[in-house]
Amino acid sequence: MQKLLHDKSAIITLLIIFVFVTIFNFFVSSGSGKSVVVMPILKPLGEVLHINQQVMVLAYQYGDGLTNTFWPTAALLQLSLCGMDYGRWFKFAWKIYATLIVAAFILIVIANSI
């Protein structure tokens, strides 16, 4: 993976990491379980690509945290307690979550530039 991302800018690399963690959150909804799997990959990758470790963790946290109540793996229990089906929730929430994901990536870019 390092060879694939070596010539890319830090922003492209952070976008790929952010999208990967967001999609991976669909399959593994546990934050600690996901951290055990992903962090041993992200730490050396950040060091090799000269990306601050705090920014790497920020990309992980935003990718993990924003979609916890959006993906059905974690949202179905919460929605069943409210008596709402997932289709209705998806139609309501997708625009909100798309906005949050764009805002989160802008904040990651700002953090990387600092």
pLDDT of residue 2: 55
| Residue-level pLDDT at 46 | 86
Q: What is the pLDDT of residue 103?
A: 95
- Residue 75 confidence (pLDDT): 81
Tens-binned pLDDT, residue by residue, of the chain (114 aa): 556 666 667 888 888 888 988 888 888 878 888 889 999 988 888 888 888 999 999 999 998 888 887 888 778 888 888 888 888 988 988 999 999 999 999 999 999 998
- Considering the entire predicted model, what is its pTM? 0.81
CA distance 68 to 90: 13
Spatial neighbors of 43 by CB under 8 A, at least 6 apart, are 53, 56
Spatial separation of the C-alpha atoms in residues 14 and 49, rounded to whole Å: 10
pLDDT at 91: 92
